[in-house]
Structure 1
Amino acid sequence: MGRGERPAPTGFDRALLDRRLTELGRRSIDAVARGLHWGYVTSVRNGTLGHPGAKMLPALAAFAEMEPRELFTVTDAELTVCHLRHFRGLSMQETAAAREWSYVAYKAFELGEPLPKRMSTSAAWSRTAKVFEVPEQRMRQAWEASHRAAAGAGVGVAG
């Protein structure tokens, strides 16, 4: 990941989204009625956009009458912090603010970088899990998956 790049969730199933919207007979007028721009929906469906942005994923999933998690082909063990943030529709800045962390500290957390002590206490894990509305163990597993993914991609993650 280059400097300034944001983590992106892997495993978005564009074909599933396309099939589902086709099955439902969704049209541009339906998208507009739900507050979505049809051009955006089309760009996600045809692959011009690699995946929906965090702020749009919940709305797009609702438009397809699905849960955000259902649009990803990753196993539960492969779910990263980035996935969880996208499922909740939170920006990185919003998530950092909710945890009272700096943007840089949150980004390092999402990338699975080694955690400073203040971010890895039991209380910190519990507060972070609440932001993502998941059990504490799910939060820890997501960070571990983020760590593994970053290490596998050669993203400067130590240890």
Structure 2
Amino acid sequence: MKKGCYENYPLWMVILTNIHPISIYILGAFILSGLGIIFTILYLLFCLCMEIRLLKSCVNCHYYGKTCAFGKGRLSALLFKRGDPDLFYQEDITWYAVLPDFLVLLFPLAGGIILIISSFNWITLLLIISILILSLAGNAFIRSLTCKYCRQRELGCSAFELFSENE
């Protein structure tokens, strides 16, 4: 193993990396609540589906059954059978494949724009700005914090390659 990679990430990092998406989900739900409870419920169900989708991809990861930066390796091991680690580095992740993940931001953004156009509200505008900052700058920060210590990145990670190609 390369020196400097975590075999199990520290708890503080797992907590920080989980506060981030939960904050995005909560902001998104607050924004969409302006359109009605059904939009809020559908959005939160969509977020849950995205989390389950992510957990299913963890079955092939080096961190399956271990504490990855997001804590999902351990959770995935509780819910799903171990996959094939060789499939993780062979998986080709494209921008099209991560489009559903971007919808976690785009749904509340669209809903917020509709609310702003129909009846301007400073709180809605501040929520939109907050979710944009968390989603864009926050994701970049979390990735910079976690990827540099990741053993899976060393073994091969299509997501790291995709997000690093512009750097």
Higher relative contact order (CA 8 A, sep 6+): 2
User: What TM-score comes out, normalization by structure 2 length?
Assistant: 0.28
Which structure is higher in helix share? 2
User: What TM-score comes out, normalization by structure 1 length?
Assistant: 0.29
**Structure with larger Rg:** 2
